[in-house]
A and B are shown apart, each in its own frame.
Chain A
Amino acid sequence: MKTKMTKRARTEAIWGLLFIAPTIIGLLILNYYPIFETVWQSFCKTGDFGIGNTFIGLGNFKKLFTDKEVFRTLFNSFRYAILSLPLTVAISLVLAVLLNRKMKLRSVYRTIFFLPMVCAPAAVAMVWKWMFNQDYGLLNHMLGFKINWVTDPAIAMLAIVIVGVWSSIGNNMILLLGGLQDIPRDYYEAASVDGSTGVHAFFHITIPLLSPMLFFIIQTGIMGALNLFDLPFMIMDQSSRAWPSVKTITYLFYEYAFEKSNRGYGAAIILFLICIISILTFILQKSEKKWVHYD
């Protein structure tokens, strides 16, 4: 049934729209227009400066599905996600629980763990690059070993994971802290009467009640991990023999779109990645009912 707006409601709606107009316009011009442009370019053999694009149908996609490099770099992106996400979630959860208690210098610790978030990612990467340096780096100097952190194909990805986890636990910890403080103390009191304390209470009260926040962190974490670009790009040199084992699909996109001026193929690669992320998100959303509890 259609209800007619009152005069007052209409005025409110108009003002509401006016207030969000700047954001909407910004989104349309800066986000949605480029998205459609990217989709269009993926069907084109692109000319320089966006002039002279010629439509080639599915040509870019045909090339994409036979390009081993695409799947190798996609595998690397997944490898990063699978290695880094569990670590990030586990460490930030433990930290959040520890810092949720009453303790001395609590806010100092919180600040320290959050600090990496405040640093510019590029600056973080540059500092780690020097710490990882095999000949003159701080890490090898302190450990007394000579580990080829970012040039040995077997461990280079691990080095990137370390930096990735280090720089993202702060943000996740703050989010989880927020979730923890939302859990009423009554639950724990009631549970302790029934004999559930410590670890048991953590798994049966804390985790289920924290699940909406965990869900949010995992979902954004997967997207972030699959979009990894800056860390390998800044930390590693492309003349490193470990580069092929770390090169991500977003880097491949960058290489084609900006270094080799093949925007069309770059657009196809990035659309392929968007499809994969969408499918993953869809599956995750479906699984939400199974394990996420809202109250």
Chain B
Amino acid sequence: MKKRLLAAALAVSMAAAMVGCGGSGSTAGTGSEGAGTASTASTAGEAQGTTAPAGSGETITVAIWDPNQLAGLQQIADEWGAANGYKVEFTVPGWDGYWTMLEAGVSGGEMPDVFWMHSNNAAKYMASGVLLNMDSYIENDDTMDLNNYFEGINELYSYNGSQYGIPKDHDTIAVIYNKALFDKYGVEHPTSDWTWEDFAAIAQEISDKGAADGVYGTYCNTGNNQDTWYNIIYSYGGEVITEDKKASGYDEPATIEAMKFVAEKILPACPSPDSMASTGGDTMFISGVVGMICQGSWTVNNFYTADNASDFEWVMLPYADVNGNGTCEPEERCSIYNGLGWSIYSQTKHPDAAWSLVSYLSSEASQIKQSELGVTMAGYIGCSEAFANAFDGMDVSAFVDIEEQGTLIFRPYSKTTAIWEDDASQALVEAWSAPEKMEEVMHKIADSMNETLAEENG
């Protein structure tokens, strides 16, 4: 009897282990990781798409992490495949699985021919010789001129003067608010002519009036850097990292002023830090317990597909009236932007075909199409207007307008972004619980970040 019981126990625990392997697709703490909806991507597990075979052509494999973009990109890649006699096969492992796959692929030599690059990892991949040097291809390709693309993204994918990626898209930030909640509490809808002070006042008004219902004005957690407080820092004239990427900007007066504003004016209108650590901002917003939040253009689909999408409205990010003249100068309204790049594996068997595909995907026509299909805004400058109308019934022009009426700041990065960005979020937890300590915490962050940067450069 004992043996039989044990055998049964073993069999079941083995089954459990197997279920565990398949099901533990991880939660991905990458809510604000540049373009690509990491959270939705990781839940989707593995999706695969295959284009119809064109003639007897060979297969070019492409890896991306965002399943929201698969259908649109597949369509564009198919056009190229049909014209050139290739089959284009997409793999979409989700954000976490993507980097694990590439990491293992580099060591094992099993890599997709063409794949996305991201600011978090670009430096590492370029320095290790994993990516194809595109210089000669760019030179010989008449349709390719890097000046057509966003400078910050170009720079991100260049290393020692050579280009290792072509900008695929760019993203900006805007504010999304819940009209139904604003109307319920009799709060006037925001217009694009508003300052961060106005933003805080409106948020506070909602928090005050909605206190009995557990409704809050806005949401800003320690990890909401790219979508929220980075924008505030740059609008106030501060910076996160100096231009030469050698020193932290966290101890600059303007940066401290901006973060003190966050601590004193924004945080009181947010749910308690404990609540924010338990429930994500998007979830709270969609559930109607938060009036407005700042979010990136890569998340539009998430809100567009919500049940109460008709209550949502996008508006441009506020500005900080630094000079006090009552109007918005372009440098007072800053949106962080970031962009993915198309990269090619350096050891690919089909470098020419891979380049041809990348060149096609990055061409003006394809970039316009990418916006039209609502995949993302373009990496090609001036091809994003169509994105504003890509979502039937939801006006997302706020993301495009800020390019004209504000300043785009490339997401602060250096080779060790992953380390100092994480350290900063961890350190800010203290200031979130005790806002009066913000200045002290900022100096702490600056010190540890300077240490990291010194190691990086030394």
A interface residue numbers (CB < 8 A to B):
47-51, 114, 117-123, 126, 132-136, 148, 150-152, 171, 174-175, 177-179, 181-182, 230, 234, 236-241, 243, 259-261
- From the candidates A50, A134, A178, A234, name the one contacting B278 in the complex (CB within 8 A): A134
Contacting residues of chain B (267-301) with chain A, CB-CB under 8 angstroms: 271, 273-279
In the complex, chain A residues whose CB is within 8 Å of the CB of B23: 120, 122-123
- Which chain B residues border A134 with CB–CB below 8 Å? 274-275, 278
B27 contacts the other chain (Cβ, under 8 Å)? yes
Given contacts A50-B107, A120-B20, A120-B24, contact A151 B277 (CB under 8 A): yes
Most buried by A among B16, B222, B271: B16
Instruction: Give, as a whole number of angstroms, the nearest-CB distance from A46 to chain B.
Output: 12
Across-interface contacts of B5 in A (CB, < 8 A): 174, 177-178, 181
Max chain A Cβ within 10 angstroms of own Cβ: one of B223, B278, B418, B430? B278
On chain B, the residues within 8 Å of A121 by CB distance are 20, 24
* Inter-subunit contact A49/B278 (CB<8 Å): no
* Nearest residue, chain B, Cβ from A50: B107
- Taking A178-B2, A260-B422 as known contacts, 13 extra A-B pairs with beta carbons closer than 8 A to each other, sorted by chain A number, are A48-B128, A51-B128, A118-B16, A118-B19, A121-B20, A121-B24, A136-B279, A151-B278, A174-B5, A181-B5, A234-B27, A241-B429, A261-B124
User: Which residues in B have their C-beta under 8 angstroms from that of A240?
Assistant: 274, 277-278, 429
The 3 lowest CB-CB distance pairs between A and B, nearest first, are A122-B24, A120-B23, A240-B277
Mask for B335-373, Cβ within 8 A of A = 1, else 0? Answer: 000000000000000000000000000000000000000
Cβ of B52 under 8 Å from chain A: no
Q: Give residues 1-28 of B contacting A (CB, 8 Å).
A: 1-2, 5-6, 8-9, 12-13, 15-16, 19-20, 22-27
* Size of the chain B interface, CB-CB below 8 angstroms: 48
CB distance from A159 to the nearest CB of B (A): 11
Which residues in A have their C-beta under 8 angstroms from that of B57? none
Of A50, A114, A120, most buried by chain B (CB within 10 Å of CB) is: A120
Cα–Cα, bound, A165→B130 (Å):
45
Interface contact A241-B433, CB-CB below 8 Å? yes
Which among B12, B128, B425 is the interface contact of A238 at CB below 8 angstroms? B425
B1: contacting residue among A120, A171, A175, A181, CB under 8 A:
A181
Name the B residues within 8 Å of A261 (CB-CB).
Answer: 124, 418
CB of B106 within 8 A of chain A?
yes
Whether B16 pairs with A49 at a CB distance below 8 angstroms is no
CB of A84 to closest CB in B, whole Å: 19
Minimum CB–CB distance for A207 against chain B, Å: 18
- Collect the chain A residues with CB atoms within 8 Å of residue B128's CB: 47-49, 51
Partner of A239, one of B22, B214, B419, B429: B429
- Residues from chain B with Cβ under 8 Å of A120 in the complex: 16, 19-20, 22-24
The answer on a CB contact under 8 Å between A178 and B9 is: yes
Are B103 and A148 within 8 A (Cβ)? no
